[in-house]
Amino acid sequence: MNYTNTHVERTSAIHEIRNLPKLNSFLFPEGYELLPNISELFELEFAFYEYKILEKEEIIHRGAFFKSVDKRLTSHYVICSNNSPHIWKGRSGITQSYFKEGNFSTGYATHGLFPYRGKFHPQLIKGILNILQIQPGDLILDPMCGSGTLNVEAAIIGIDSIGIEKSPFCTLMSKVKYESLKADRNVLSMALSNMTNNYRTLIRSRKVQDKFDFKDNFNLSKAISLLSFLDSMGFSRRCNKSIDVLFPSVLKRYVGQIKSFVQARDSLDLQIGEARFDIGDAGALPLEDNSIDAVITSPPYSFAIDYAENDRPQLEFLGYDVMSLKEDMIGLKGKTKREKLSSYFEDMSRVLAEMSRVLKVNKYAVIIIGSNDIQTGGIRLETKIEELASKNSFVLDQKIIKPIKGIQNTMKDEYILFLRRV
């Protein structure tokens, strides 16, 4: 054996491995730098779509997956880099890790206020808005808006939106997150200076709706205090600490996070889009025909998760009857899993019909849905939704798979369905 030749060959192989090009270099030209920790296939897909669809200036101002273009930092990177450490201080190690790892994807802007079970992936939503080429002047809808993630993301890039939600608590949460995007420092200072008085009012309150008017005379300072209180209420049940101990730290965390976004907003001169929130039924939308430019939503998994029961303490504190709300919520009718699934698909058929009615022709409804064969008895949710959509004037133009990463989940993947109205 010629050991000299073998050594040369091995050295050459090492040299070649050292110089192997990164995948990014095949996808993007020089000057395009991805955000830190971009590694999932779906992230690279979305980054590539943004690169192909958006102009350089658009990527800088509204891109979701790039750190910089030609050494100019993107607005998304600036907003996320300005995140307040308050978002994870005092939380469990698992929660801290979740928010730190999701700094560029889930925990930025006002999304971290009252982290909600089943919440959208915010960065993904911005990417979808970019793929759909939604522009200022367009109007988009989430008919099951939950905690308002779509509305917050749309507003950050100057897009107007409507959020419809059956739960009054979720509607409040959405409105606080959205209105906080427009907050000024005086409002935030007021929330802290009035902390003790607001806490006393809340802890003694029996009719919160009378004390805190959030519809006709919305007071953001009080609303931030109320949402902090409701967050503390839920947290106290899980960690056996009293609300009076938790409330000050939660409120300070909220204010710190909002301040961080406000600083980034002002430095970037962001023009915040308008958002409207209504308590309503996704199966009977209060909107005109052909009035919406895009629908982006994620249906609730109500056959597996009883959202109203999950939010019972908050809903009851706000003065709402949980059992009455359940009667009108998607997929909560029936006693057995089979009955609930049947009810769920009937309700979703109504929702898809309404989405089709309000959406303009050749515009898109994007539905993000996971699937768990055990919970559904072998029925693939995404396949069933595709089938129902096809019966309501939609065609499936694209399907993207996204792995689910979170604190707790029972599903491995989500399916992003791009349904075009025909």
Write the pLDDT tens digit of every residue in 305-364: 788 888 998 999 988 999 988 888 887 677 787 888 888 899 999 999 999 999 999 999
Q: Which whole number is the average pLDDT over 23-27?
A: 84
Tell me which CATH code domain 285-305+333-421 carries: 3.40.50.150
pLDDT for position 420: 99
In tens, the pLDDT along 270-322 reads 999 999 999 999 999 999 999 999 999 999 877 667 888 889 989 999 889 99
- Burial string for 44-75 (b: 16+ CB within 10 Å, else e) reads bbbbebbbeebeeebbbbbbbbbbbbeeeebb
Q: What is the pLDDT of residues 184-195, one digit of tens each?
A: 999 999 999 999
* Residue whose C-alpha is closest to residue 367's, from 408, 329, 331, 399: 399
| Beta-carbon count within 10 A of 117 CB | 15
pLDDT band at 181, cuts 50/70/90? very high
Domain range annotation of the chain? 285-305+333-421
Average pLDDT, the chain: 88
The pLDDT value given to residue 89: 62
- Going from the C-alpha of 124 to that of each of 106, 373, 421, the distances in angstroms are 9, 24, 22
Q: Which residues contact 238 (CB under 8 A, 6 or more apart)?
A: none
Contact criterion met (CB below 8 Å) for 330 and 300: yes
How many residues appear in the chain?
A: 422
Per-residue pLDDT at 391: 98
**Residue 208 pLDDT more than 90?**
no
Query: Cβ contacts of residue 172 below 8 Å, gap of 6+?
Result: 214, 223, 226, 227, 318
d(C-alpha 250, C-alpha 114), whole Å: 9
Q: Are 344 and 371 in contact (CB under 8 A)?
A: no
pLDDT at residue 53, rounded to an integer: 98
Which range scores top for mean pLDDT: 2-6, 39-43, 58-62, 232-236? 58-62
- Beta strands (DSSP E) in 124-187 are 139-142, 160-165
SS3 of 213, please?
A: coil
Q: Is the pLDDT of residue 407 over 50?
A: no
Confidence of residue 73 (pLDDT cuts 50, 70, 90): very high
Give the pLDDT confidence score for residue 212 in this predicted structure: 55
Measured CA to CA, the distance from residue 57 to residue 59 in angstroms comes to 5
pLDDT of amino acid 99? 60
Cα dihedral angle (158, 159, 165, 169), rounded to 10 degrees? 0
| Locus of tokens 């308002």 | 148
Query: Quick check: 171 pLDDT over 90?
Result: yes
Q: Residue 367 in 3-state DSSP?
A: strand
pLDDT band at 80 (very low <50, low <70, confident <90, very high): very high
Name the percent of the chain lying above pLDDT 90: 60
For residue 114, pLDDT over 70 is answered with: yes
The DSSP string of 192-210 is HHTHHHHHHHHHH-S-HHH
The pLDDT, as a whole number, for residue 17 is 73
